[in-house]
Structure 1
């Protein structure tokens, strides 16, 4: 039986777990990362790599996103260029004058929170995105939006952390002492010991919390992405319709789709986004793909003649109030949570990792973590 020891064990080798490992190691802690599958084998590997502020209203999540935006820029300088960090900006488009007025109001509120947004009148949209459909009502460009290749970002964060990474080992128990304090985890390969365990298990975060005697109501929210054949750069920004913001904030379990279209440095165009709560059902939905294709070609008619070469599905780790759980479990000393980021985990990963590292070492939090405290979900006594 293994009896490996470290200062902290991170459960989850996606981008959030990798960021926790990176900042914990930079704080002087020894780190072990354990995952039931490969690096970025869950939600991270099925993501588009979005680093967004444009879709967030003023409040705690936007503050977390703005901090992460600054940290991603730093990481882009520190990590290899192969993470494909691209500060291309986002463009939110309105279908008509009424939708444009709503976007204008939304952007004005964001400006007070530190977001930069430039109004693009309808007659200038084609200067920004030449292949957009005619007749749109205008839009707002968000220069702070960016993109990374998420699996590469997770892998390079882990490599730079120097953490011991154990893949293919499912955590079957969170070990606690007679005083109830965490002392490590158990996997099929044996026991791993540490005085702190970070739950960065994404959609499985609720299960890891349960293993420790805690409670987090994390649910999977399925989404599909269409990938086109490689193209010249026909889409310059991340472009999405205004109703995408409402879909992100919705708590509905029903299917929702709203056009999100973006090019990549390698050439393929990524097309999303869909949301529905169907458990962990990976069944291919032709209806979802049909909707995504129709909405994408309505925004960019040039895509109508382009082949889609593959599609993939992923599960966003959903919490009922749409905010992640970041911080110590209220009932299990030594257990910290870093999960429930839904579709924003890649963008929010660095700030989450930095916040967890500060909590592990007793440092000053980088922002107010009260709204993210896992105790907000604790069952009533």
Structure 2
């Protein structure tokens, strides 16, 4: 498709977050063009599990964004749920030790005060939730709001819906620079031509920092590598998303080294997804079987029946990590006309629709449903000032 000469909004990135930004902007009546250097959902959205979680989030801005996104997935977008295989499966977090269960109980109390539906589960009652779980667990917590979608379908169908509202989508179109009028961003330059725009949204995921640098601003998004394994189709053996309590600590960690914690969940097709790992190794695309071995061992300790299951395939991707574990959302005062919607790390699928709705409101001058200040792109400039002090 030929590039338009102009648009109200150019969205850079055709993953789940960019697709959500495009959909809600088009729904608001804006003329939208989506550009991506690769295919639709060709980055992180094609290499993840599609989680929509509240269970792994502490009280604060990210949890507020998660609850807002939940309201959209289950409300305004509910009629489209079958398109992206929305499954309200619930999440079960399990603790192997009493000390871990005590920590989980304290987290659950804080989350409950923030509006999360969570039920503490005694060790003896865990098998009523998951009959095939390993015996001897100290306890757990059940989160009925946890859900899952097929992430590539979510991105593709959100873009299809946006196209139905007049948006255009241009895969294989790399943004090489920004059009400027003084400090202001007035469009994008590509090898296929320029597109002028009132606003440009940086939804480039793991490459969000590189795109921001083209505008001369700093957004410290870094890649964090993670693996997933997929088993052969099996009878229903895992009812919910099940993970060990240390997964929450790993999500919040800034450690660059390898971290693994067992995460096991079934899919509508009968396959079982096994995670998870995190490590900051840049864009290293080498395959490390030792990571998979560690993940498999921990998953089998959680569900012993997996010892007999065959793994069909495994894959890895790069999650867009921010040092303070909050995404970057909203207008950039350092480059007027530039908005950001990136840095969601492993929560991007779940937070995508809330992010898109917030960005669309901001683009149209409406009051966003949440305060964008905690997600402000310029918040990292204080780090630079401190470094030079």
Q: TM-score range by the shorter chain?
A: over 0.9
- Shift in Å at residue 351 of structure 1? 0.9
1:41 maps to what in 2? 42
- Shift in Å at residue 78 of structure 1? 3.0
Note if 1:32 corresponds to 2:23.
no
1:57 maps to what in 2? 58
Note if 1:325 corresponds to 2:328.
yes
Residues 254 and 276, structure 1, Cα contact 8 Å, conserved in 2: yes
2:311 maps to what in 1? 308
1:82 maps to what in 2? 83
Structure 2: distance between partners of 1:131 and 1:70: 32
Residues 3 and 170, structure 2, Cα contact 8 Å, conserved in 1: no
1:106 maps to what in 2? 107
2:171 maps to what in 1? 167
2:16 maps to what in 1? 15
Structure 1: distance between partners of 2:321 and 2:333: 20
For residues 53-76 of structure 1, the C-alpha deviation after alignment (integer angstroms, 9 at most, x for no partner) is 000010110000011111111255
Residues 172 and 185, structure 1, Cα contact 8 Å, conserved in 2: yes
1:119 maps to what in 2? 120
Structure 2: distance between partners of 1:23 and 1:95: 43
* 2:256 partner SS: coil
Which stretches of structure 1, 4 residues or more, deviate above 6 A after TM superposition? none
2:139 maps to what in 1? 138
* 1:6 partner SS: strand
- Shift in Å at residue 129 of structure 1? 0.3
For residues 201-243 of structure 1, the C-alpha deviation after alignment (integer angstroms, 9 at most, x for no partner) is 0000001101111111110000000110111111110000000
* 2:179 partner SS: strand
Structure 1: distance between partners of 2:305 and 2:81: 34
Residues 99 and 242, structure 1, Cα contact 8 Å, conserved in 2: yes
Residues 227 and 277, structure 2, Cα contact 8 Å, conserved in 1: yes
Note if 1:370 corresponds to 2:373.
yes
- The two structures, once aligned, show a CA RMSD in angstroms of 1.2
For residues 63-95 of structure 1, the C-alpha deviation after alignment (integer angstroms, 9 at most, x for no partner) is 000111111112552326130000000000000
1:348 maps to what in 2? 351
* 2:114 partner SS: coil
1:261 maps to what in 2? 264
Residues 3 and 190, structure 1, Cα contact 8 Å, conserved in 2: no
Paired residues for 1:184-333 under 5 Å: 184-333=187-336
Structure 2: distance between partners of 1:119 and 1:45: 33
What TM-score does the superposition give when structure 1 sets the normalisation length?
A: 0.98
Residues 76 and 85, structure 1, Cα contact 8 Å, conserved in 2: no
Structure 2: distance between partners of 1:278 and 1:173: 27
Q: Provide structure 2 residue ranges, at least 5 long, that are not aligned to the other structure.
A: none
* 1:158 partner SS: helix
- Shift in Å at residue 344 of structure 1? 0.4
* 1:191 partner SS: strand
- Shift in Å at residue 316 of structure 1? 0.6
Structure 2: distance between partners of 1:306 and 1:238: 18
Residues 80 and 156, structure 1, Cα contact 8 Å, conserved in 2: no
For residues 29-61 of structure 1, the C-alpha deviation after alignment (integer angstroms, 9 at most, x for no partner) is 010000011110000111100000000010110
* 1:354 partner SS: helix
* 1:216 partner SS: coil
Structure 2: distance between partners of 1:261 and 1:30: 41
Structure 1: distance between partners of 2:45 and 2:239: 23
Residues 79 and 157, structure 1, Cα contact 8 Å, conserved in 2: no
- Shift in Å at residue 369 of structure 1? 1.2
For residues 271-309 of structure 1, the C-alpha deviation after alignment (integer angstroms, 9 at most, x for no partner) is 011000000011111110001100000000001100011
